[in-house]
Structure 1
Amino acid sequence: MRFLHLSDLHLGKRVCEFSMLDDQRYILEQILSLLDTHPVDAVLLAGDLYDKPVPPAEAVRLLDWFLTALAERKLPVFAISGNHDSADRIAFGSHLLAESRVYMSPVFTGAPEPIPLADEYGPVDIYLLPFLKPATVRHVWPEEPAESTQSYSDALGCVLRRCKRDPAHRSLLVAHQFVAGAAVCESEEPSVGGLDSVDVSLFEGFDYVALGHLHSPQNVGRDTVRYCGTPLKYSFSEAGQQKSVTFVELGPKGSVSITTEPLTPLHDLRELRGSYMELTDRRAYEGTATDDYLHITLTDEQDLPDALARLRVLYPNLMRLDYDNRRTREQQTVEGPARAEQQTPLEHFAAFYQLQNNQPLSEEQAAFCQQLIESIWKGEDDA
């Protein structure tokens, strides 16, 4: 039995205030084309279908279109909610969708029940486990000792111990958690200290574990516990990655084959470095994909007026502009920590805004922020 493993679509995501919707539709169309040339028996969607718990209408329509296209190909779909999703919204209409063999994870109320498939080698039991926090598990089983659901790993173990698995059947788990030992990137960091990590040993007994949550394609612990990664690059820490989809084939019990197929984005996400004169030299950019999403680091010793706007004439999708010169290096190594302690809350926010949007706060925005900060302080003082 052959599966397509996808995760972390993050439909509706914006990167540096650039909407990814057109890019997301393009890559989903490419995935559908791959399915037409690389047939599968079912599709696994391992969470973070949306980028926000309340997604924009355009993102909802895009997921609706994609699920409909899969259903038209007579493909069963097994989808779960991730930490970016609203479990209630993902579960909405799940009973109706199941009639079209689109199985959406329900809001967590207990150990998942297997959804059976079968081929010439016998049954395959599929378990859908949405993103879980310890508090969610404690709410369902308040009688459990506190220590048995204290950590993410404890809570997940509590759930999986209750799964009714037939050891003679092949079994497949779709989950959305951070597994200890996996490599992370800045677009999807685990919590401080790895408190949300789970132990890979909890997945013993499953023939394949289709994971979502981390954006880099990778195996953890063993080949059959796998993150397929995002279909698109969502941060510049992923610029060097080759995005792909994962195909999983279950043969007889104990036989699992995993292959990948590369994906080509509508716009790649790349980093460029050099002086302004180097990057605006026709010989440097002619024949290249100048409409890619770019992070440019200028090495000029002097900051250039309106450099962002001027560079966007040649590179219209320039997302982020930095300098690497004596001034910035001195700020990082000498002035950085001291300066940070001296900055006002408004200065901190203004620096963050500049980093995210490649433009400074307007006077009106700065005044509004300062008023908001003062009102918060006043509220604390009154309390």
Structure 2
Amino acid sequence: MKLLHLGDLHLGRSLGDFDLLEDQRYILDEILAIAGRQQVDGVLLAGDIYDRPVPSEGAVRLLDYFLNRLAEAGIKVFMISGNHDSDERLNFGSSFFEARGIYIAARYQGELYHRCIDGINFYLLPFVKASQVRHFFPDEEIESYDQAVKVVLRHAGIDPKACNVLVAHQFVAGSNLVPELAGSESAAVQQVGLVEQIGADNFAAFAYTALGHIHRPQKAGGEQVRYAGSPLKYSLGECNDEKSVPLIGIDGTGNVAVELLPLKPRRDLRHLTGRLEQLLSRENLQDTDDYIYVTLTDEEPRDNAMGIIQGYYPNTVKLDYRNSHTMAMVQKDVFRVEELRSFDELVGDFYRLVYGQDISEEEMAVMREIGARAGVVDETD
């Protein structure tokens, strides 16, 4: 069986003031073309399908278009929700979709979603928090995300001798290595001391684990536990990334082969650094339709610099300065951010960023306990 592994589509996302729906449709069409050329049997969609819990009309239409094209081609879809998705919205019509070969697990309800197709067991685990799992297993010790996933898998009755595939959306680290992050992910995870971290050893019973949640494509504990990464560059930290889609070849005995197929976007995202005249010189002007982040090194601010640059690069997203003045400000202030804000404030901000709501007192208590164990918060506070 051949499978494509996708994650973090973030349909409906913007880049600065630029709507990315046309760019997202372009890359989905490229993925559909790859699926056709490779004659794939299924697509694994590992969460964060939409960029926000209440997606725009355009984002909903785009997902409908993509799923219909896959169904028309006879390609099965295995889709889960991520932390950016509304489980209720993504789950709507799931029983109807299953008749067309589209399998959706948008909400964990006490059992790990399982379907056996052509001798391969597909398990779907939507994004879960410790509090959600504790609701179904009140007698289990569940204080961390890692413990929550362990409990879910232990109660799923998985046969380690069978050929099993898992689709999940969690922060997974393998061999004591933290995944390489991009954009806002880096700051958010560092603020809370990696409390979301899941060990890759949880997935030993699976021939392949298709992960979502991290935008940079990478392994998380061997070839068989992998982040597909987002299909497009969504932040400055991803400018140098090479986007791809993993093609998974798997047989009924659990043998797996992984090939990364490159993706070429409608517009690239690039970071230009230098003096204004230098960046706009004839020899440096290229691919002017790309999305551009500009860092000017001129010692003094330039009048209407953004307008001037957009005259050459109309899709310029952001402009900032890096010179002796800005570097002095960074050295003076950046190291005081942590000491000026409490652990609770940092955790609360991170929780609102990821989940779009305030953290409960119960969950904050768990965070404080984990922080105390890690030595990042004083137990006497």
TM value normalised by structure 2: 0.84
Aligned to 1:352: none
**Alpha-carbon separation, structure 1, partners of 2:89 and 2:165:** 24
Report the counterpart of residue 379 of structure 1 in structure 2: none
Greater mean alpha carbon deviation, residues 323-332 or residues 6-15 = 323-332
User: Matched residue of 2:318: which SS?
Assistant: strand
Change over 3 Å in CA distance of 1:282–1:105 after alignment to 2? same
- Give the corresponding residue for 2:369: none
Q: Hey, what's the Cα distance between the residues in 1 that align with 2:333 and 2:88? A: 48
Distance (whole Å) between structure 2 residues aligned to residue 107 and residue 53 of structure 1:
13
* 1:331 alignment partner, SS class: helix
Structure 1 partner of 2:102: 102
Please tell me whether the aligned partners of residues 111 and 160 of structure 1 are also in contact (alpha carbons under 8 angstroms).
no
- Which amino acid counterpart does residue 9 of structure 1 have in structure 2? L
Cα drift, residue 336 of structure 1: 5.8
Shift of 1:280: 1.8
1:284-332 CA-partner distances (Å, limit 9, x unpaired): 20xx111111111111111101100111000101111111111111211
Match of residue 38 from structure 2? 38
Q: SS of 2:223's equivalent?
A: strand
AA at the equivalent of 1:294: I
Q: Residue type of the partner of 1:125?
A: N
Instruction: Give the CA RMSD over aligned residues.
Output: 1.8
State the shift of 1:170 in Å.
0.4
Q: Partner of 1:230 in structure 2?
A: 230
What secondary structure sits across from 1:320 in the alignment?
strand
3-state SS of 2:193 partner: helix
2:160 to 126, 147, 167: 167
Instruction: Tell whether the 8 Å contact from 2:41 to 2:75 is kept in structure 1 after alignment.
Output: yes
8 Å CA contact retained: 1:245, 1:261: yes
* Cα distance between partner residues in 2 of 1:107 and 1:325: 49
CA distance in 1, matches of 2:111, 2:291: 42
Percentage of identical aligned residues: 43
Task: Give the one of 182, 186, 205 matched to 1:185.
Answer: 182
Which sections of structure 2, spanning at least 5 residues, go unmatched? Answer: 341-381
Query: Cα deviation per residue 1:331-356 (whole Å; 9 max; x = unaligned)?
Result: 112366689999xxxxxxxxxxxxxx
After TM superposition, list the pairs within 5 Å mapping 1:122-133 onto structure 2: 123-133=119-129
> 2:108 & 2:333 partners in 1: Cα distance?
49
- What is residue 199 of structure 1 aligned with on the other side? 199
- 1:328 pairs with one of 322, 326, 343: 326
Q: Is the 8 A contact 1:76 1:101 kept in 2?
A: yes
Shift of 1:252: 4.4
Which SS does the other structure have where 2:247 is aligned? strand
CA distance in 2: counterparts of 1:174 and 1:294, whole angstroms = 34
* 1:239-258 matched pairs, under 5 angstroms: 239-258=239-258
Query: How many angstroms apart in 2 are the aligned matches of 1:140 and 1:20?
Result: 39
Cα 1:117/1:330, change in 2 over 3 Å = same
1:106 Cα deviation (Å)? 4.2
In structure 2, do the counterparts of structure 1 residues 335 and 114 end up closer, same or farther at CA, with 3 Å as the change threshold?
Answer: closer
User: In the aligned structure 2, how far is the partner of 1:20 from the partner of 1:65?
Assistant: 16
Q: Which amino acid aligns with 2:316?
A: L
1:318 aligns with 2:311: no
Q: Does 1:59 align with 2:59?
A: yes
Distance in 1 (CA, whole Å) between partners of 2:338 and 2:144 is 34
Query: What residue in structure 1 maps to residue 294 of structure 2?
Result: 296
Aligned partner of 2:137 among 136, 141, 161: 141
**Aligned counterpart, 2:17:** 17
SS of the counterpart of 2:219? Answer: strand
Residue 306 of structure 1 aligns with which residue?
304
Q: 1:187–1:215: 8 Å Cα contact kept in structure 2?
A: no
**2: CA distance between counterparts of 1:8 and 1:193?**
23
Look up the match of 2:143.
150
Aligned equivalents of 2:330 and 2:161: distance in 1?
Answer: 59
Query: Number of aligned pairs?
Result: 333
| AA matched with 1:319 | V
Q: Structure 1: state its 5+ residue gaps.
A: 343-383
Give the drift of 1:282. Answer: 2.0
Deviation of 1:188 (Å)? 2.9
TM-score, normalization by structure 1:
0.84
Contact 1:187 1:234 in 2 (8 A): no
Residues of 1 paired with 2:123 and 2:339: CA distance? Answer: 50
**Aligned pair in 2 of structure 1 residues 340, 131: CA closer, same or farther (>3 Å)?**
closer
Query: Does the residue aligned with 1:62 lie in a helix, a strand or coil?
Result: helix
Letter in 1 for 2:304: D
